[in-house]
Structure 1
Amino acid sequence: MLNLLLAPLTAPLDGIVWIAQQIQERAEAELDNAENLHKRLLALQLAVDMGEISEEEFEAQEEMLLLAIQELEEQQRQAAENDDGQY
């Protein structure tokens, strides 16, 4: 009953908390994606250094990973620009 009476006062705060949680989850997911791509690139470098894969295979996979990193950074830049433009 008390929650119902206080809802007009607490609802805006609850909404702000929810939005902050969504932003944090999105940022963590994007960071995880970038971190995972960099880890895969490092693992790929180690594999070629240890002779587990050929130089040609390394170059092909490296290019794919670098493009994925570049695309992710571009998406993050565009999202930041969109967020700046909303104010």
Structure 2
Amino acid sequence: MGLISGVLLLLPLAPVRGVEWVADRLLEAAEREQCDPATIRARLGELNRAYEAGELTEEEFEEQEERLLDQLEQRVPRGSPAAVTRTRTRTRTDRDQGTSHD
């Protein structure tokens, strides 16, 4: 098969490959944004607001907070300011409840 016949054979697949490439780039960008520490912190802030407004039960709040904090810890190395955020959040929650998890 020559070069021209190979190009002519694969030409109808070009739009499919182009769409697939664009979809891959969009998926990568969405994954980066979803795992971005700033985005996770913003979601934690919204979660706190919803809890304080009474839109969430304590159990729902703790479950979602734990999931978000786990995501944040996976993205940020230990010893960074975000790693300290989890300790501060738990300390604040413990202080509000009058308990300690240490």
- Please give the TM-score of this superposition, normalised by the length of structure 2: 0.41
Q: Which has the higher contact order (CA 8 A, sep 6+)?
A: 1
Q: TM-score, normalised by structure 1?
A: 0.48
Greater Cα radius of gyration, structure 1 or 2: 2
